[in-house]
Amino acid sequence: MAKGETMSDTEANWSGPSPLKKRARLERKIFGAWRVASWMALGLLSQACLLNSAPAPPSHPYVLALGTAQDGGLPQIACHRPCCERVRKNPTQARMVTSLLLVDPHSNQRWLFDAGPDLPNQVQLADQIAPRPSSPGRPPLFDGILLTHAHMGHILGLLHLGRESYGAESQRVICTPSVARFLRDEAPWSLLVTAGHIEIQELRPNTMLKLNDRLRVELIQVPHRGEFSDTVAIRVEGPRGAVLYLPDIDKWTRWDRDLAVELARVQLAFLDATFFGPDELPGRSMSEVPHPFVVETMQQLEHLSAQEKSKVRLIHLNHTNPLHDPDSGARAEVQRAGFGLAIQGQPLGLDGTSWD
């Protein structure tokens, strides 16, 4: 199997809080066909198998994690530590770089949150799950690509829209004015703009944008390394609930908002879980790549009810993060605390529930 395959049965057994066995049985039933669709996106199963396995599409909007790893993916380049060697020996545990798909089956529209280096495989996965209407030429792959910031794991995939690859015609890209300036001014992204492969729509933070009659989004400013641009989280609202996508932030204490308050505003929250703890990068200063440790996130939210904690899906895991290992003590600790883990290829309604 290849990088980009989806959740193992072990992960399905633990995608959220207890009772685990009951939830595992439910998720295996619901998501079995979706695993088939995800494997098919990498050419591992026949089209006939996919058609026989895919469930009827839902009628309400949903999200799906197209990847759950930090910008370098899992396994990561030149890493020979056990965390990556384990995955090379068992490629079913490989994970693509973090990205979220938003789908409205009613209008047959789809949007992408962040376009990282795994975009080609993620487009294949999206095409199997939420195929685009057939159109001549090189039409946009999504009804919009929303970017959180200008680090490699979030914009590198845009280059596949250029003349050397797909050659998209006017793909809509929604981002802050800061990210827009970077894309317009810095090569090779600037060529995407001048050649008409992407059309940038600027959206200022704290401004709502209507995507269609059922969905709207808001960009929320968060503190994060600003070498190239500012950074935002994305909150999407729909008829059945709201979702927060926040893959990168320096520290919760540096944010001018209260995480618990923001969690109360949504039914599902994908939160930065880059590092589990402070000892994951021997030989490097963790201050160079600030992120809230998972243990800090759990402490920040420990006073909340089980229902509030169950909204959380930890995402954007560095290759060193022990949460990647289904048998790790870290997984067991997060599980006992009542938080969930984002699972590549798992569809969830905007109200946070799974469906069949």
- Give the DSSP letter of residue 149: -
pLDDT at 239: 94
- Does some domain include residue 1? no
Token pair in block for residue 88: 């090379």
Classify residue 2: in a domain, yes or no: no
The pTM of this model reads: 0.86
Q: ∠25-74-71 over CA atoms, to 5°?
A: 115
Question: Is 104 part of a structural domain of the chain?
Answer: yes
Return the H-helix or E-strand segment holding 208: strand 208-210
Return the pLDDT at 56.
Answer: 52
CB neighbourhood size of 29 (10 A): 12
Assess if residue 354 is contained within a domain.
Answer: no
Give the burial class of 336: count Cβ atoms within 10 A of its Cβ; 0-12 exposed, 13-18 middle, 19 or more buried.
exposed
Give me the pLDDT at residue 6, please. Answer: 45
CATH of the domain at 242: 3.60.15.10
Q: How many domains, in total, are found in the chain?
A: 1
Residue 4 lies in a domain: no
Report if residue 84 sits inside a domain.
yes
Cα 215 from Cα 234, distance rounded (Å): 13
Let me know if residue 3 belongs to a domain.
Answer: no
Q: What range defines the domain where residue 35 resides?
A: 9-349
Which residue pairs, CB below 8 angstroms and at least 24 apart, start in 295-298? Answer: 296/251, 296/252, 297/252, 297/259, 297/271, 297/272, 297/273, 297/339, 298/334, 298/337, 298/339
Structural domain contains residue 306: yes
- Cβ-contact 41, 128 below 8 angstroms: yes
Per-residue pLDDT of the chain (356 residues; tens, 9 = 90+): 444 444 444 444 444 444 444 433 433 443 333 433 443 333 333 333 333 344 455 789 999 999 999 999 999 999 999 999 999 999 999 999 999 999 999 999 999 999 999 999 999 999 999 999 889 999 999 999 999 999 999 999 999 999 999 999 999 999 999 999 999 999 999 999 999 999 999 999 999 999 999 999 999 999 998 898 999 999 999 999 999 999 999 999 999 999 999 999 999 999 999 999 998 887 788 888 889 999 999 999 999 999 999 999 999 999 999 999 999 999 999 999 999 999 999 999 999 988 64
At 46 the pLDDT is 30
Q: What is the pLDDT of residue 355?
A: 64
